[in-house]
A and B are shown apart, each in its own frame.
Chain A
Amino acid sequence: MSTLHKFHGGVHPPSHKAESTQMGIVRLPLPSRLVIPFRQHAGDASKPQVRVGDRVLKGQLIGSPDGFISSAVHAPTSGTILAIDVQPVAHPSALPDLCATLIPDGKEEWVTREAVDFRTLTPEELRGKLRMAGVVGLGGAAFPSDIKLRTGGHQVRTLVLNGAECEPYITCDDMLLREHATEIVQGAEILRHILASDGVLIGIEDNKPEAIDAMRRAVAELGYGFDVVAIPTIYPGGGVKQLIRVLTGLEVPSGKLPGEIGVQCFNVATAHSVYRAIEHGEPLLSRTVTITGNVRHPGNYEALIGTPINELVAFAESLPDTNAYIMGGPMMGLRLPAVDVPLVKASNCIIAASDKLFPPAPPALPCIRCTRCVEVCPVELQPQDLYWFSKAREFGKAQTFSLFDCIECGACSYVCPSHIPLVQYYRFAKSEIRVRTQEKQNADKARERHEFREYRIEREKQEKAEKLAAKERAAVAAKEQAAKTAAINAAQAAEHGVTESPKETSDTPVPAQPDAVLPKE
């Protein structure tokens, strides 16, 4: 048993987890239609591989990875592609994105699945398989797992499995750990094999004793030397850097990735889908999602990717006074702009919200610099300073105060006695800084192109002038030559009284070649 460490700050919001753990994971019936976005992961959208009207099989590739950070998207069931167009998706912008609409035929006909023994494959081959199986982080960020499995020359000594599930309401990882512990442990072994790590630490918050027991039993049964660690329940203990700190005592430096200090972290549900992808050849087609809050049957459901949220909540019977739906947890989740958006790989929880559950925030008051936010910030930032800078659009200062280390956990807003939406300010500032950086890059590129164009025009002008000069020189020389020859001929004719053909002379001037001008470096 390793010693546990602590991170700074953290909060204890009411957990509300008991409501959704009363029953096991329920598999949802086939929905009437599935809307599968081509961008379900961090990075570039996948490229459509099917056409409208195509019949697809369950597990068939419909979007192939396009770009370095990208992942594949598959048909979650067999059926016909009804449309490929822009549809509303779960995004804070409420903007639509490219999706494939699939009408299931109810036959659940699979493509040929190829199970492999992971021990016979190289890490490179396994990464390729995970990429094509569309395996992404299921904790909420949906980052393609194959990218995280590239060690980039670093030795990843420790693999951390994240089963902390620190946000209130969400219990999908808890239930998955209880019901599929063996598969998760086997998935962890595949990940450990790819990374060639020495040890595996499985961190689970101590408010999930059943999950901890199940995992300990599974590890003992399979005989792996993994460490299942009960960690104290505190929000945001499931943040990657926070969990690594608690389990190993190592701090991931600002601006660096965990892999660079020899630790890599995966969500338990990701480990489960890694297992299904490698040992059963099943791409990521469904996920466990918690549906809770203002519903009659809160619980965990296994739903196909692309299931419309309104069909999900109808199944769990949302109560009439529900006025909004939150995707994710109440701390970091996203208030859905519409309820007809599809479930995506990142959707771990849907909370039906009502005024009773989440009373509207009281109007904000000015910041009184009480620094309660500083006390709870898990990254040891100065949230009140970041707030001032972001509010005043002093982005440079915000950056020097490590704005980009902020994990947007919302602990600061949670404790703020003035009810200031702090995280909104940080998000605003971060995206403004990103836009400015991009604009600067574009401007630099435009400057370079403009300068090269001017240089090119100048060069062409020079070349033209030189060519002209050379031509003129050649003409003058030819004229002189002709005059000379004529004079000689005339002299010879005068001497001998006969005509001779003019002799070839060796000093005919060659037209001058303009020196090749090399582009400026």
Chain B
Amino acid sequence: MLTALLVMAGVAIVLGAILGFSAIKFRVEGNPLVDKIDAILPQTQCGQCGYPGCKPYATAIAGREAEINKCPPGGEEGIQKLAELLGVDPIPFGGDTQLKPKSVAFIDENTCIGCTLCIQACPVDAIVGAAKQMHTIVAAECTGCELCIAPCPVDCITMLPLEEKITNWTWKYPVYSLARAH
């Protein structure tokens, strides 16, 4: 009887020690679900979802505080992927959500006064320039978030939709007529 108790207690202590050790050793930093959601989000950091960036929105989704249909740049496909990941039903965008074509910001360099306000607003450091010097957008890094437009005091920033060129052209979904069954 005593042996059995000792054996059981011993096993419990050993297993507990292993569990305790692995809890420290293999500790997961942060919430892995947040990272998974963040990986789906398009990283425009535009704040259209009402959160100050993609990561905060991902955190809110993970905490079931936000719906999954708040990200217009992610498109329908983003909603689809989020729904799949979270095991919920996909929901359409709200009525007032506008899906815009992919664009990059463009600074009219003749109008720019070099106030650096847009540089401070850019979430991905895609604008170069210095005080009282002309600013310009690094188009390859621009996510098209439009956050630089509002702070500009001279309205010299416009959004240019990405042009379709040979280099970024894609094959379209085949469209053809099906034969009618007789």
* Cross-interface CB contact of B179 among A39, A363, A451, cutoff 8 Å: A363
Contact of B170 with A432 in the complex, beta carbons under 8 Å: yes
- Interface of B, helix, strand, loop or mixed by DSSP: loop
CB atoms of B179 and A428 under 8 A apart? no
Contact A446 B176 (CB under 8 A): no
CB distance A362 to B124 under 8 Å? Answer: no
A430 and B171: CB pair below 8 A?
yes
Give the docked Cα–Cα distance between A93 and B143 (Å).
26
B124-A428 in contact (CB<8A)? no
Number of A positions contacting B (CB below 8 A): 34
Residues in B with CB closer than 8 Å to A435 are 170
Total B residues in contact with A, Cβ cutoff 8 Å: 29
Identify which of A254-262, A437-445, A505-513 touches chain B: A437-445
Closest A residue to B120 using CB positions: A457
Interface 0/1 of A497-511, CB less than 8 Å to B:
000000000000000
B53–A363 CB distance below 8 A? no
8 Å CB contacts to B: which residues of A444-489?
444-447, 449-453
- Is residue B95 within 8 Å, beta carbon to beta carbon, of the partner chain? no
A92 lies within 8 A of chain B by Cβ = yes
Q: Mark A419-445, 1 if CB is under 8 A from B, else 0.
A: 001001101101110110001001111
Chain B, 163-182, CB within 8 A of any chain A CB:
164-166, 169-174, 176-180
**Which residues of B lie under 8 Å from residue A363 when comparing CB positions?**
176-180
B45 sits at the interface (CB 8 A):
yes
Task: Kindly provide the distance from the CB of B41 to the nearest chain A CB, expressed in whole angstroms.
Answer: 8
User: What is the CA–CA distance of A214 and B43 in the complex, to the nearest angstrom?
Assistant: 61
Residues of A within 8 A of B45 (CB): 446, 450
Give complex CA distance A445, B124 in Å.
9
| Interfacial residues of chain B within 110-163, with CB under 8 A of chain A in the complex | 123-126, 141, 143
Chain B proximity of A512: nearest CB distance (Å): 29
Distance of A97 Cα from B124 Cα, bound (Å) = 31
Q: Known contacts A95-B165, A364-B176, A453-B125; is A445 also within 8 Å of B54 by CB?
A: no
Inter-subunit contact B42/A39 (CB<8 Å): no
A366 at the interface (CB under 8 A from B): yes
Point out residues on A near B: beta carbons under 8 Å.
39, 89, 91-93, 95, 97, 362-366, 421, 424-425, 427-428, 430-432, 434-435, 439, 442-447, 449-453
Instruction: Tell me the B residues contacting A by CB distance below 8 Å.
Output: 38, 41-45, 53-55, 123-126, 141, 143, 164-166, 169-174, 176-180
